[in-house]
Chain A
Amino acid sequence: MLRYLIRRLLAAAAILLVITVITFVIFFALPSDPALLACGKTCSPSRLAEIKHSLGLDQSFLTQFWEFFKGLLAGRDFGDQSVRVHCGAPCLGISFQTDTPVLSTLLGDFPADLSLGLGAAVFFLILGVGLGTLAAVRRGRAADKAAVGLALLGVSVQIYFVGLLLLYLFVDKWQILPASGYTPITQDPSAWFQGLILPWATLVIVYLALYTRLTRSSMLEVFAEDYMRTARAKGLSAVKVVLKHGLRAAITPIITIFGMDVGSLIGGSAVITESVFGINGIGKLAVDSVQNSDLPVILGTTLFTATFVVLANVVVDVVYGLVDPRVRLA
């Protein structure tokens, strides 16, 4: 088990390295010049060269990559003799735009994504599995059709539409909720919760559909299994047969997908939700950095998100090994 974990983590590190290289290459293939952007409207060639030098852009591709990689493992120093900034390992560089270390920006924005992603995930998992189970049990009847219809609706609507609609209804028209946004939970738990209700609801509506459908089909498959008949033959109640024997088997494939979704959500993939509700999260940071050709931030956000997705993968496999006794991790 431990050996398996170590091997998986090494493989994950290798994947992250590949992602770093690809991001670097893509950045250099792009026509935009971050130095030019930083230089402003009245830019003289000498000033441009100066900026290029201070950003390290005058060095070769390989040197830049090596510097970045070294910083990641051992930290690095930025600036010239006059202003020297140390960036400790793991150093993701310093933003071209704001001159702050990328990692601290990321960590500053991370709680927002964590709150948004985890909170929504808890809701859509419970509701989705519940609805899906209900639909499977009532297969072909009204409850099933309603759940399936709801799921279809959820798949077909877009986040900005749902998000803006909810904002309009709950904040502007009925004024039930305060303007949404992110308040750290340490600062004001009630504001944290109220500000996140609508973003959560938006994500839940979109993801719920997927989970309802997954659970329904997985459940129906399990219902046809011989061991469900065995459970009935023992004299178990219908509820117990479904919730204990059925759900236990049906949930296993869902765990895989859930893990991946949570990983990418808290890694900043809920960009649209963030921007609709004005939450400063990693998704928004990533979009801004691309617009500003801010290489260190682009790299930082990409790596950060990738790390979560890759780690979620490992976690999912380990969890799978725990819930399915037939899977041996070695």
Chain B
Amino acid sequence: MRAADEQEHAVSTTQPAGEHLLDVRGLTKHFPIRHGIVFQRQIGAVHAVDGIDFTVAAGQSLGLVGESGCGKSTTGRLVTRLLKPTAGRVVFDGEDITHTPENRMKEARRNLQMIFQDPYSSLNPRHTVGTIVETPMRLNGINPPQGHKKRAQELLETVGLSPEHYNRYPNEFSGGQRQRIGIARALALRPKLIVADEPVSALDVSIQAQIVNLLQDLQREFGIAFVFIAHDLAVVRHFCERVAVMYLGKIVEVADRRTLYTGPRHPYTHALLSAVPEADPDGTRRRERIRLAGDVPSPVDPPSGCRFRTRCWKAQERCAREEPPLVRLAGSTDGHLTACHFPEEPSVAAREEDIVLDPALSASGDSESTSS
């Protein structure tokens, strides 16, 4: 349709490029590593996020997945300006907030909220639930017609708590309920975008679903856009229309959810998907089996060229030399971008032969359950 003015990095095939709520370009964060007692010298840097681009349209949700050290949480903190980027640009709601001074961030903060992973440490234990939920309104000078207290109680109801919880303290609540308080606080300012950093990973399985459902309801009801950061690929698939896979500070693949989970092109996405355990004893047999060797390399000294090449079964000399750009590959659908010189076939079905790079594992295809 609007293919002509469609940018390569566009978040969705149905959204024109100009209407992005969040537009991130070349975002980079290096944490310096210092040494010394009095005079600290910088001896290196953790390349937490290393030049990533993505966009999120209003009301949409983008998932960021990847393993530890991939930079997904740092990305979330950069977007909400809890961290200052080393380089790159964050445009939110048409305003470049990359270098906005703290005192002028108010307006953006109001529309840009964050939900944290740990519901135990992200709430001040000395404040009542009411104070916690009201504080963002007061700080931003928002005076709802029904009054702060009434509004806070409404919010508590919205997130599935009781208005009577208003005067209680966070330690009286379970993990799932605390996460609800955190969500009520984020909702208090009617934000346009919520960055949710592992919002359910500290919770028990049965509670996770409650929170995921709540976030989905809020998204639909209030049209809030989400950047949903999680390591759990199934949760991300459930929540996000569009998913970006990160590895060592880079986005290696991004696509709409169906494409990414059924027709990925990047070898790392294949490995990641194949590693997800399924609560279906027959499931693993249908899917390809890829077992990488070793762990993710250190982000202090990431590999040259393609960062995945040290664990990739397709790596060649070119991968060490040239960093593959994140582009639409031949045969990929619109909006499906992959950073790979030697992409895989877009299928996750079981292969003729398993790819087992781990020297300790037998390559024989006896991966299925022995229940029968």
A interface residue numbers (CB < 8 A to B): 7-8, 11, 330
- Across chains A and B, the number of contacting residue pairs, with CB separation under 8 Å, is 5
Contact A11 B37 (CB under 8 A): yes
A7 and B37 contacting across the interface, CB-CB below 8 Å: yes
Interchain Cβ contacts under 8 Å between A and B, 5 examples = A7-B37, A8-B37, A11-B37, A11-B38, A330-B35
Q: Which residues of B contact A (CB under 8 A)?
A: 35, 37-38
* Across-interface contacts of A7 in B (CB, < 8 A): 37
| Separation of A8 and B38 alpha carbons in the complex (Å) | 11
Cβ distance B43 to chain A, nearest Cβ, rounded Å:
8
**Docked pose: A330 CA to B37 CA in angstroms:** 10
Which residues of chain B have C-beta atoms less than 8 A from A8's C-beta?
37
Give chain B's interface secondary structure class: loop
C-alpha gap A260/B37 in the complex (Å): 19
Q: Which residue of B lies closest to A328 (CB)?
A: B35
For B37, list chain A residues within 8 Å (CB).
7-8, 11
Question: With A and B bound together, what is the CA distance between A217 and B35 in angstroms?
Answer: 31
- Collect the chain A residues with CB atoms within 8 Å of residue B38's CB: 11
What residues on A are CB-neighbors of B35 within 8 Å? 330
Which chain B positions have C-beta within 8 A of A330?
Answer: 35
Min distance, Cβ A265 to any Cβ of chain B, angstroms:
26
B39 (CB) vs chain A CBs: closest residue:
A7
Q: In the docked arrangement, what's the CA distance between A7 and B41, Å?
A: 14
* Across the A-B interface, the 3 shortest Cβ-Cβ residue pairs: A330-B35, A11-B37, A11-B38
How far does the alpha carbon of A7 sit from the alpha carbon of B37 in the complex, in Å? Answer: 9
For A14, the closest partner residue in chain B by CB is B38
C-alpha spacing A11/B37, complex, angstroms = 9
A330 to B38, alpha carbons, bound, how many Å? 13
Shortest CB distance B256–A (Å): 43
A286 to B35, CA, bound (A): 39
In the assembled complex, the Cα of A282 lies from the Cα of B35 at a distance in Å of 38
Question: How far, in Å, is B282 (CB) from chain A's closest CB?
Answer: 35
Distance (whole angstroms) from the CB of A13 to the closest CB of chain B? 13
CB neighbours (8 Å) of A11 from chain B are 37-38
Residue of B nearest to A7 (CB): B37
Q: A57 to B276, alpha carbons, bound, how many Å?
A: 83
Question: Given the complex of chains A and B, what is the CA–CA distance between A7 and B40 in angstroms?
Answer: 13
In the bound assembly, the distance between CA atoms of A7 and B39 in angstroms comes to 11
Residue ID in chain A nearest B35 by CB atoms: A330
Q: Which residue of B lies closest to A330 (CB)?
A: B35
Instruction: Name the distance in Å between B61's Cβ and chain A's nearest Cβ.
Output: 38
Closest CB of chain A to B300's CB: distance in Å? 14
Chain A min CB distance to B105 (Å)? 38
B182 to chain A, nearest CB (A): 29
- Report B36 CB to chain A, min CB distance, Å: 8
Q: How many angstroms between the C-alpha atoms of A7 and B38 in the bound complex?
A: 10
Q: How far is the CA of A330 from the CA of B35 in the complex (A)?
A: 8
Question: How far apart are A4's CB and chain B's nearest CB, in angstroms?
Answer: 9
> Taking the nearest CB of chain B, how far is it from the CB of A254, in angstroms?
23
Task: Find the A residue at minimum CB distance from B38.
Answer: A11
CA distance A127 to B115 in the complex (A): 52
- State how many angstroms separate the Cβ of B24 from the closest Cβ of chain A: 36
Nearest to A4 among chain B residues (CB) is B37
